[in-house]
Chains A and B, each alone.
Chain A
Amino acid sequence: MSPEMLLVWPIALPMITAVLTLVLRRSPVGDTVSLVGAVALLAAGITLLMHVLEFGPISAQMGSWAAPFGITLFADILSAAMVVIAGIVAVAVVVYSRQDVSEGERAVGFHALSHALLVGVCGAFLTGDIFNLYVWFEVMLIASFGLLVIGGRRDQMDAAVKYVGLNLIATLAFLAGVGILYGAAGTLNMADLHLTLADRQNETAVLAAAAMLLFAFGAKAAMFPVFAWLPASYHTPAFATSALFAALLTKVGVYALLRVFTVVFDGSGAFLQPILLVGAVLTMVVGVLGAAAQNDVRRILSFHIISQIGYMVLGLALFTPLAIIGAIFYLFHHIIVKANLFFVAGVIRWKAGSEELDKIGGLLKASPLLAILFLIPALSLAGVPPLSGFWAKFIIVQASLEARDWWVAVAALAVGLITLFSMTKIWLAAFWKEHPDAEPAAMPVAPRSMIWPIATLAVMTVIIGIAAGPLYTTAEEAAVTLLDPLAYVEVVLGPEAVAEARASEAAELQLAEVAQ
């Protein structure tokens, strides 16, 4: 199989699965097909990652239309690893949905929509064309809208309208930004944009496009002040859907920020960096304070997504190699942990009958195993050693100290502390205190299809924490490629395209040495 096809399968496989599950949506075979499709996606992701780790970044031209005219797909370690994690989440969500998602929601097409969402997610991770990125965002938006409304309840409709309304504004800004960019640069291929815009970063049109795209990706990632859509919608759908959204949707926004603000725009520029830095810190703080004010398990977790997104954007804003490593490590760790916490919220609901903190309790007695399975991702989220979240926060704080942004480091640590407070709140209410009216012994037993995904992801969290080394190395290699856009250009447009840029770079280095 040609290496080019490695880039196509993570998009084509969920597409095929979506078709099959759509046709089979009323039949029990659909569930199995969906699971097989998710496993196939994971396998395709792993194959791609192994190839990229061994041979370096690869690119492919759809329909053999040469770059920069055709649509380019591109994978380096970051995008390949993101596809793998999306595959892990897909498998976990499909297994979990077996009991969690109702017959009715399946008959309307839960599996088909989930896989359509994965098409958009993987497409966004793998594309090398900024307009194509917009298309994948739209695919994601439509599929997630469908997933929000298939339950048909009134509060779900309400959530979906807010979700789509606010997201459409972001999408329009994205399209407008792409339009301005095309007008200014005459190309939409990211590698070609890098070459075209290399010495035009301070032009008004380019900055306007950058601001538009920052707004759009920021809204997708749920950054301050455009995060309102997230807590308005994430607590209404099925738990499997919430977990899928929480794991992947915002992270695609962060990925787009990481990619576009290293390759196309200069994220360390005098105009963008302060916005990113202040935006990141405010996102962290506002998210965590919002969580402290909530009294519903999924609402608390939703606000924590926002706060954690702040850490990742902070990594990009600091723009040192260590900070970028931190952002990537955070991205990897957070997807696993966040999906898991939403899974646990589903089991809490299953056993205790509610998500509101006042109406639940007694779960420590009813199920000590569940208590442990909650503590692992919860403490990891708060950054307690030796779990994965500790390393993620450690790298980010270390990077901000190295950059001598003391106030940023203080904010990051304080937010970690308040996160721990929120997690303690859930712990006290759901596990520690007595249930207001139910006996622990009489609580229903959670099905295995819900416990297994939680246990697996919890084990992953522990492994990442204890053996953080390999993941750190992967994040480091990913950061090195991300911070060398010319390598990206070389893979897409060939060595001739970058020869000139490389030569001038070398000349500049020489000049700098002479000056010293």
Chain B
Amino acid sequence: MNSTILKTATRLLLPIFLIASILILWRGHNQPGGGFIGGLMAVIGVALYAIAASIDEARRRLRVDPLVLAGVGLACSVLGGLWGSAAGGAFLQGVWPFYEYVSGEGTKGWPIGSVLLFDTGVYLTVLGAVCAIIFALEEAVFAEREGSR
């Protein structure tokens, strides 16, 4: 599509969508949100960019093949699950190596661990898989339009 308004707005909106998606991913640790919805939010940004610029341009800016992104995401999630069992608990058990509870002082450290790894994996999987679907559909429609001409 060739619209100056859309192009200019996208330049502004894309970073907002991406930042919001990461905030939602982060917030999902203890509150509503998480990797799935965050990933979808990021997809909105990419899809908007793909419509405003072009599919090729969006692919180029994404740098990685979206399916590879989905694969890496799934790998992160599986690793996040295995981490729990490797640390002596059950599969998918939460492990926070930099976080501890000290009596009298409350919690200390960073709540970063297997749960965040799992959720980041979900985020990447959703982002990669849905982007791959959108790109494939757009390209199929485009090819058909070219063919009918």
Q: Looking at the complex, which of A4-12, A38-46, A209-217 is the stretch in contact with chain B?
A: A4-12
Q: Is the CB of B90 within 8 A of A64?
A: yes
Within 8 A of A (CB), among B53-102: 67-68, 70-72, 74-75, 78, 81-82, 84-85, 89-94
Q: How many residues of B contact A (CB 8 A)?
A: 18
CB within 8 A of B71: which of A2, A4, A23, A60? A23
Q: Is the CB of B68 within 8 A of A63?
A: no
Q: Which residues of A contact B68 (CB under 8 A)?
A: 22-23
Q: Which residues of B contact A15 (CB under 8 A)?
A: 74, 78
Answer whether A63 and B93 are a contact pair too, CB < 8 Å, given A4-B85, A23-B71: yes
Q: Is the CB of B67 within 8 A of A22?
A: yes
The tally of CB-CB contacts under 8 A between chains A and B is 51
* Chain B residue at smallest Cβ distance from A4: B90
Bound complex: CA A112 to CA B71 (Å): 10
State the Cβ distance, B36 to closest chain A Cβ, in Å.
13
* Chain B residue at smallest Cβ distance from A23: B71
Q: Is the CB of B84 within 8 A of A63?
A: yes
Q: Which residues of B contact A19 (CB under 8 A)?
A: 71-72, 74-75, 78
Bound complex: CA A62 to CA B118 (Å): 14
Q: Bin the interface of chain A by size.
A: 20 to 34
Q: Which residues of A contact B70 (CB under 8 A)?
A: 22
Does any Cβ of B come within 8 Å of A61's Cβ? yes
Q: Is the CB of A5 within 8 A of B71?
A: no
State the Cβ distance, B45 to closest chain A Cβ, in Å.
24
Q: Is the CB of B81 within 8 A of A12?
A: yes
* Chain A residue at smallest Cβ distance from B118: A63
Does any Cβ of B come within 8 Å of A53's Cβ? no
State the Cβ distance, B57 to closest chain A Cβ, in Å.
23
Bound complex: CA A456 to CA B91 (Å): 35
State the Cβ distance, A336 to closest chain B Cβ, in Å.
30
Bound complex: CA A132 to CA B58 (Å): 36
Does any Cβ of B come within 8 Å of A109's Cβ? yes
Residues 188-225 of A, flagged 1 when their CB comes within 8 A of B and 0 if not, give: 00000000000000000000000000000000000000
B residues lining the A interface (CB < 8 Å): 67-68, 70-72, 74-75, 78, 81-82, 84-85, 89-94
